[in-house]
């Protein structure tokens, strides 16, 4: 299939939950910032969330979903685990009009990436992001027939921090 736009980025499930200041303080969350967290802390925060709302996220995927909703043919290259969040991510992105070209990865240890976003009554967001399997995206995740079938390639700069991410970009180009 050919696409108008193909993007490569972190496949992150945004998990949004209300939280008051006392909850943030109790959980050791600094209000109003985004910080990366390790797996154990991410699982603890995810488990403490109430009234969760989940949505596919990541800057490139969000942009592609918007373009897909406008009628463009869009494809997203990213990594999710074959777990509940990964399957949710892939199906939700497709429902937003963007093909998730990579199958959720079976086996392995790293779960699907997630950003736990706590929204306080004043509307302030406090984000705690665990990168999980998305940080492992590499050149083998880039199908030649997808990257070569577009006139616009949209790349997420955060992936350029890792050697495997750079290799994925080079393969796509």
Closest listed residue to residue 112, CA positions, set 39, 8, 17, 16: 39
Q: With contact defined as beta carbons under 8 Å apart, do 116 and 29 qualify?
A: no
- Measured CA to CA, the distance from residue 114 to residue 55 in angstroms comes to 10
Q: What is the pLDDT along the chain (173 residues), one digit of tens a residue?
A: 789 999 999 999 999 999 999 999 999 999 999 999 999 999 999 999 999 999 999 999 999 999 998 999 999 999 999 999 999 999 999 998 899 999 999 988 999 999 999 999 999 999 999 999 999 999 999 998 998 889 899 999 989 889 999 999 999 98
Q: With contact defined as beta carbons under 8 Å apart, do 142 and 8 qualify?
A: yes
Ramachandran region, residue 119 (left: φ > 0; alpha: ψ -120 to 50; beta: rest): beta
pTM of the model: 0.92
Q: What's residue 105's pLDDT?
A: 95
Q: What's residue 96's pLDDT?
A: 87
Q: What's residue 149's pLDDT?
A: 84
Q: With contact defined as beta carbons under 8 Å apart, do 24 and 147 qualify?
A: no
DSSP conformational letter for 107: S
Total domains, the chain: 1
Structure tokens, 13: 């499930």
Q: Which domain holds residue 27?
A: 3-172
CATH code, 100:
3.40.1190.20
Q: Is 148 helix (H, G, I), strand (E, B) or coil?
A: coil
């Amino acid at each position: 299939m050919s696409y108008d736009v193909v993007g490569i980025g972190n496949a992150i499930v945004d998990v949004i939950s209300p939280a008051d200041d006392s909850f943030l303080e109790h959980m050791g969350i600094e209000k109003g910032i985004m910080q990366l967290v390790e797996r154990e802390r991410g699982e603890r925060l995810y488990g403490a969330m109430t009234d969760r709302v989940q949505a596919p996220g990541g800057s490139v995927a969000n942009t592609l979903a918007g373009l897909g909703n406008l009628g463009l043919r869009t494809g997203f290259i990213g990594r999710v685990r074959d777990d509940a969040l990964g399957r949710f991510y892939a199906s939700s992105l497709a429902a937003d009009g963007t093909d998730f070209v990579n199958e959720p990865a079976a086996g392995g240890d790293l779960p699907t990436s997630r950003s736990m976003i706590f929204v306080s009554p004043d509307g302030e967001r406090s984000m705690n992001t665990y990168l999980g399997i998305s940080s492992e995206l590499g050149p083998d995740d880039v199908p030649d027939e997808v990257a070569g079938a577009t006139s616009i390639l949209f790349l997420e700069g955060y992936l350029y921090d890792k050697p495997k991410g750079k290799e994925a970009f080079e393969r796509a180009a």
